[in-house]
Amino acid sequence: MLPNIERCTAVKLLGVFLSYQLRLDKHVTRVLKSCRSYMYMLRSYKARGLGESKLQIIFNAFIMAKIRYALPAWGGFVKATEIGRINSLLRKCKKFGYCKMVYTFEDLLMDSDKKLFKQLQHEKHCLHQLLPERRSLGDKLRVRNHSFLLPSCKTELHKSSFINRALFLPLQ
C-alpha cells in the first residue's frame, strides 16, 4: 500500500458511477435521486396548470434522458433490485401523468442496444473495431440481424457486456 494515497470505493467515469466491485448500485441511486427531483419539478408544473403534452416533453428531456444516458454501457450490469427500483419510478411517472405509457428498464435497454449496435456496424464508427469477424456467407445457420461470428461467453460478466448483448439480440 502506498502512503498518502486515498483508496476510493467508487469512481465517476463520463457520468457513470462504478464501484471497485464493478457494481452500479451507486449509479442507479444517483440517477433515481436526480429523477425524483425532476418529478417534483414536474409535479409543481402540473399544479400550476402546465398541459399534459408539455409535461411529457419535460419528462422525456429530463427523466428519460437521465436514465438513457450511456445505457448500453452500464445497463447490462444492473442487478434485479436496481431494475425494480427504476421500473417503480417509471410506473409512478405514468401514474402521475408525466408520460403516456409505462416504460420498463428492459425495453429501454433493448432499444438502446439495438440503436447503438446498428450504428456501430458502419465501418467508420469508432466502436466498429470491437465487433468480431464476419462469418462466411456460405454458412447455413439460423438467420440473425448481423453477419458476425458469435463469441463464446463463459461468464455472466462477459455475457452482460454491450457487444455480446447486441450480438445475441433477437430478430426484429
Q: Confidence class of residue 105 from pLDDT cuts 50, 70 and 90?
A: very high
Q: Confidence class of residue 151 from pLDDT cuts 50, 70 and 90?
A: confident
Count of beta carbons in the 10 Å neighbourhood of residue 35: 21
pLDDT in tens, 24-54: 899 999 999 999 999 999 999 999 999 999 9
Q: Give the closest residue to 107 by CA, choosing from 122, 120, 91, 121.
A: 91
* Cell triple for 53: 403534452
Residues 86/35, Cβ–Cβ less than 8 Å: no
Ranges of each domain in the chain? 7-172
User: Cell 409535461 appears where?
Assistant: 55
Interacting residues of 88 by C-beta distance below 8 A, sequence separation 6+: none
pTM over the 0.85 mark: no
